[in-house]
A = this chain, B = another copy of it.
Amino acid sequence: MTERRKSAGLPDKRRAIVAGALTLFARDGYTRAGLDAIAAEAGVSNRTIYNHFSDKAELFQTVMQESTQRVADTMVDIIDRHLSKVADLETDLVDFGLAWLAVLTSDLAPHFALIRQINAEMEHIPPAALALWRETGPGRTRRELAERLRRIAQRGDLAIDDPVRAAGHLMLLISADNLTDRADLHDEDALRAMVTAGVRTFLYGYKR
A residues engaging B (CB < 8 A)? 27-29, 31-32, 113, 116-117, 119-124, 134, 138-139, 142, 162, 165, 168-169, 171-173, 176-177, 179-182, 194, 197-198, 200-207
Of A119, A169, A179, A198, most B-chain CB atoms within 10 Å:
A169
Total copies of this chain within the assembly = 2
B residues near A201, Cβ cutoff 8 Å: 169, 201-202, 205-206
- Inter-chain CA distance A124–B26, complex, in Å, is 12
- Inter-chain CA distance A125–B119, complex, in Å, is 18
B residues near A119, Cβ cutoff 8 Å: 116, 119-120
- Inter-chain CA distance A206–B173, complex, in Å, is 13
B residues near A29, Cβ cutoff 8 Å: 29, 31, 120-121
- Inter-chain CA distance A179–B204, complex, in Å, is 22
B residues near A197, Cβ cutoff 8 Å: 162, 165, 169
Q: How far is the CB of A201 from chain B (nearest CB, A)?
A: 4
Choose among B120, B162, B181 the residue that contacts A142 (Cβ–Cβ < 8 A).
B181
21 contacts across the A-B interface (CB closer than 8 A): A29-B31, A31-B32, A32-B124, A116-B116, A116-B120, A116-B122, A117-B120, A134-B182, A138-B180, A162-B197, A165-B176, A168-B176, A168-B177, A168-B179, A168-B180, A169-B197, A172-B172, A172-B176, A201-B202, A201-B206, A204-B204
